[in-house]
């Protein structure tokens, strides 16, 4: 695709792009919109190809890059990867290898760095647990980022492969979910009982929060990402007025999905406290 064909030469202010493999990023988007209601947003869920959590590095990178390019073509200057798996497997390569060729003035930010920054003020033992998809845990992105910022912290990751399907099949509140929530929480603490801070490193997991909290040992802090990412974005826009000026302010939010628009619109209400109408797009 040539730059001018996909709108990459467009320098007009545009919406902030928010990308996820599917629905999970809506938990991040709703917090971002609470903190930054004046801006325009385009949410893109690659539902037709989700879940990303069990996919290889190359595939997650390729799919994420396609989504980022699409959002750029829709006029976004700034794109948030509201997906831990995409942030873990694709963000760095896109930032370092792709953006300089596509358009060095555009920016792509992820959810892992801001989450990691928040744990230093929360832990007393320095033992951090991370619950995430198999892809996020295998990537070691959380231990790598945590050790850069806090070299003496111990990070233990636990993959929770059943949690995304439980949420997607609307079973997050069902009795069956208790079995798998308990299983992975116990596995995490079985490996390190000194953990006092646990990151929910997947944007689907806030929907399982009540059950996760029920099976956590007492006194353990559970870190969800929505507010943290929203605060970090607000801070980023304050520190980067040149980017802030490129983010249009009309208070709108457009929802796009690679799956059926009806399916997305009805499922989105599970994640958002509002009814929305999505549009189908092809990446």
* Residue 20 engages ligand DGL in binding (rule: CB under 6 A): yes
Among the listed residues 83, 160, 247, 253, the single catalytic one is 83
Assigned token pair, 171: 């079973």
Instruction: Please identify which residue in 68, 172, 202, 212 interacts with ligand DGL, judged by CB under 6 A.
Output: 202
Strand, coil or helix: what is 52? coil
* Residue 71 engages ligand DGL in binding (rule: CB under 6 A): no
* Residue 14 engages ligand DGL in binding (rule: CB under 6 A): no
Assigned token pair, 44: 């893109």
Instruction: Please identify which residue in 18, 21, 72, 142 interacts with ligand DGL, judged by CB under 6 A.
Output: 21
Q: 């971002």: which residue's tokens?
A: 32
Q: What is the DSSP letter of 97?
A: I
102 vs 229, which CB is nearer to ligand DGL?
A: 229
* Dist CA 198 CA 129 (whole Å): 4
Least distance between ligand DGL and beta carbon 7 (Å): 27
Instruction: Please identify which residue in 17, 53, 206, 226 interacts with ligand DGL, judged by CB under 6 A.
Output: 53
Among the listed residues 160, 202, 247, 253, the single catalytic one is 202
3-state percent breakdown (helix, strand, coil) of the chain, nearest 5: 45, 15, 35
Q: Which residues contact 91 (CB under 8 A, 6 or more apart)?
A: 64, 81, 108, 109, 110, 112
Which residue's beta carbon is nearest to the bound ligand DGL? 53
Residue 202 is a catalytic residue: yes
Closest of 33, 87, 16, 15 to residue 230, by C-alpha: 33
Task: List residues binding ligand DGL (CB under 6 A).
Answer: 20-22, 24, 50-53, 83-85, 133, 136, 164, 202-204
Residues annotated as catalytic are 83, 202
């Amino acid at each position: 695709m040539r730059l001018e064909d996909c709108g990459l030469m467009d320098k007009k202010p545009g919406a902030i792009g928010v990308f996820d493999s599917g629905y999970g990023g809506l938990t991040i988007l709703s917090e971002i919109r609470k903190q930054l209601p004046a801006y325009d947003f385009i949410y893109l869920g690659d539902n037709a190809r989700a879940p990303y959590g069990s996919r290889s590095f190359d595939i997650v990178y390729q799919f994420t890059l396609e989504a980022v390019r699409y959002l750029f073509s829709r006029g976004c200057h700034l794109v948030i990867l509201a997906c831990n798996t995409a942030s873990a497997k694709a963000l760095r390569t896109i930032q370092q290898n792709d953006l300089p060729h596509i358009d060095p003035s555009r920016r792509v930010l992820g959810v892992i760095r801001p989450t990691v920054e928040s744990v230093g003020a929360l832990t007393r033992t320095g033992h951090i647990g991370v619950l995430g998809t198999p892809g996020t845990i295998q990537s070691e992105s959380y231990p790598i980022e945590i050790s850069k910022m806090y070299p003496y912290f111990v990070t233990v990751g636990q993959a929770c492969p059943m949690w995304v399907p439980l949420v997607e099949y609307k079973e997050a509140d069902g009795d069956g979910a208790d079995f798998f929530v308990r299983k992975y929480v116990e596995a995490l603490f079985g490996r390190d009982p000194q953990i006092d801070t646990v990151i929910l490193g997947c944007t689907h997991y806030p929907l399982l929060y009540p059950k996760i909290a029920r099976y956590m040992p007492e006194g353990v802090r559970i870190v969800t990402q929505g507010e943290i990412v929203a605060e970090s974005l607000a801070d980023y826009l304050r520190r980067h007025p040149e980017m802030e000026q490129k983010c249009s302010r009309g208070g709108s939010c457009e929802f796009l999905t690679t799956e059926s628009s009806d399916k997305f619109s009805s499922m989105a209400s599970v994640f958002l406290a509002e009814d929305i109408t999505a549009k189908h797009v092809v990446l």
